[in-house]
Each structure stands twice: as structure tokens, then as C-alpha cells.
Amino acid sequence: NLQPQWLPDMEPDPAELRRSDVSAGSVLVSPKSVLVIKKIRDASLLQPFKELCVFLTEVKDMIVYVEKKVLDDPAISGDESFGPVTKKFCTFREDLDDISNRVDFIICLGGDGTLLYASSLFQDSVPPVMGFHLGSLGFLTPFQFDAFQSQVTQIIEGNAAIILRSRLKVQVFKENWEKKDGSDEKNIVLANGGVKASRPAVQYQVLNDVVVDRGPSSYLSNVDLFLDGHLITTVQGDGLIVSTPTGSTAYAVAAGASMIHPNVPAIMITPICPHSLSFRPIVVPAGVELKITLSQDARNTAWVSFDGRKRQEICHGDSISITTSCFPVPSICFRDPVNDWFESLGECLHWNVRKKQNHLGAEDEDF
């Protein structure tokens, strides 16, 4: 169930109530607050950021949340004309402040990496995300900033469709886990600071992919892959990519995987340079539980990253558990889920671009 469930004796948060009906194809209802995510240290985004924030605060009278490190940029903190606007902001710090119940929707200024970062800030339910293409690729950011005022107004008024992009729930279990900060050894420490009772683990929500590779070692990566408790294969090569349908058009497609539409409930498993002529990428149903461990006779450790972040070493006795998360990312469509996806395939990846064959003329039919 993708909708928040309220306990009878709890007062539901207004922000959650406004998002509680978010599902595939649905629209926002009377959003009051917005989180603006801007790519850090990118001078080309300063003017769009300022224009957007002035529009949201002064024209739309919305509560705007911004990361504190964004406002620490001298080009922003030193702009006296922008000072009155920044005083209206609500600020937060990554990994320290929980804003999950305060934000109605998110606006990203940057590229696909900026949207992945926005996803990582929310380890439970995610507000709908509107991505403006101000980065290098833009597969996940279908909106152009030139018409941002009319486009944002359409979203605020509820005139937009939403596609649910599935995420992966990943737990990393460490054999040699060190007890820190007085935490009990049976706790799962969540990425947002929460705690659940279980054996030692760190948990992540991943929008694109989990990548296991050989790291700095010159030896083959040698890892075992389990599906619902059964060993299905041993990966011998540079590594393994486990991706969502959204992530199938990222690292996975570069490694030879098929591209999967985000509406398809699936998990893609793609080997990286396998030392085998017959090891092809496979698609398994969403909801299965995958487990990755070092093979008993592996010559070296492995390394794992989550959407390109939080990179860490995997040693003998450690394991990585992966399944479909119950907290997808509601992504706001420019047109609709099908047209947006094929538009991105053509514009960003130049899918099936080829000079068309000339038709046969009457004088050519005899040849």
C-alpha cells in the first residue's frame, strides 16, 4: 500500500494529508510548501534559482525549504537584493534535519543527479518531484526552465499527471559491525537516523541502481547472487548492477541491459564485463528479495554504491539485501508517462537514430 496509514490516536500531518492520495496518474491537491533543490557550486543555476524563489515566495506565497549549504554560497549570501527573499526561507541540513512531513512537493534545478539526490533525502514517503532540465543529460528532468512560471502554476493548480518511479530498499549487513553511539547491536540504523529492531544493518532507498564492483583490485569480482534464498549464480567479472526500471537507462544500459519503462514492475540484474559469453542481463519480478555476498573463494573484497553515493567496502561475511521499496518517487510528468519516456529516449540517448533509407523510384525497380 503506497498511501500513508494513520494510527487512530495520531493527528495526521497536513502535508501528509495533501500528499496521501498521490498515486500513478494523480495530481497534487492545494500544495502549500515546496522544497527547492539546486545543484551545488554551479554558477549557471544562480539566476534560475533566484527567479524561481522570488516567484514562489512573492507571487505564489508558498513556504520554501532550501538546504542551508545552498544559502552559504557567497553569490547568494552576498546578494543584498536577494536578502529579503532568503529571510523567508526555511532551511535544513542533510542527514540532520527531517523535513519529510513538511514538504508538499519538490522542484529540482539541475540534472538527473540532482533528482537522485532529492530522492536520497527521503527515506520514507517522497513528495512529488518536478525536475527542470538544467544539467547535462536530463533523462529524468523533462521540464524546460524558459516557461517555469506557467509550468509551476499548472502544478500548483493540480493540472499535472504523476508517474510512480519504484525504488529499491537496500540493507547492508556487516559481519564486523562496530557498536557506535550506544546503539544496540540488534538495531537497523536507517539513513535518516531512525532505528528499527533487527540485526546490524544500514538501510538505503535507491532510485537508480545498486552497483557492486571490484574496486581498486586487479582481480575478478567474485560474488554470489541469491533470489528468495536460492543461489542463482556466481558473478565473475567487474561486478553487478541491480537497477530499477528508472535505473535501466543509466549504468545498466551502458553495460548492455534492456531499457524498461518505469511503469513496469521489475528489477533488472546486469553483470559488468562478465568473464562469460553467456551471462546476459535478466529481469526479475518486483518484490523478490535479492541477496549479494562475497563468494567463499573470492580473492578480494568488493565495493558497493547506491545511486553513486555512500560507497563502502564489502568483506567476507557481509551481505547486501535488495527488494522493491514500498516508497516510490512520484515524478511529475511534462505530458504523460509514455510520451515523456520516449521523448527522453530520443532526446537524451538518441535511441534508434539512423538516416532513413530512400524509397525506390520507378527507374530503380528493375535493379
What DSSP designation does 51 have? H
Residue 357, all three cell numbers: 533509407
Q: Which amino acid is at 333?
A: C
Q: Which amino acid is at 50?
A: K
Element (H, E) at 118: helix 112-120
Report the alpha-carbon distance of residue 71 to residue 88 in Å, rounded: 12
CB distance 236 to 221 below 8 Å: yes
Beta pairing partners, 239: 213, 272
112 has catalytic annotation: yes
By the 10 Å C-beta count (0-12 exposed, 13-18 middle, 19+ buried), 349 is classed as middle
Catalytic residue among 112, 209, 213, 318: 112
Q: Which amino acid is at 309?
A: R
Residue 325, all three cell numbers: 521499496
Beta pairing partners, 235: 223
The residues assigned a catalytic role are 112
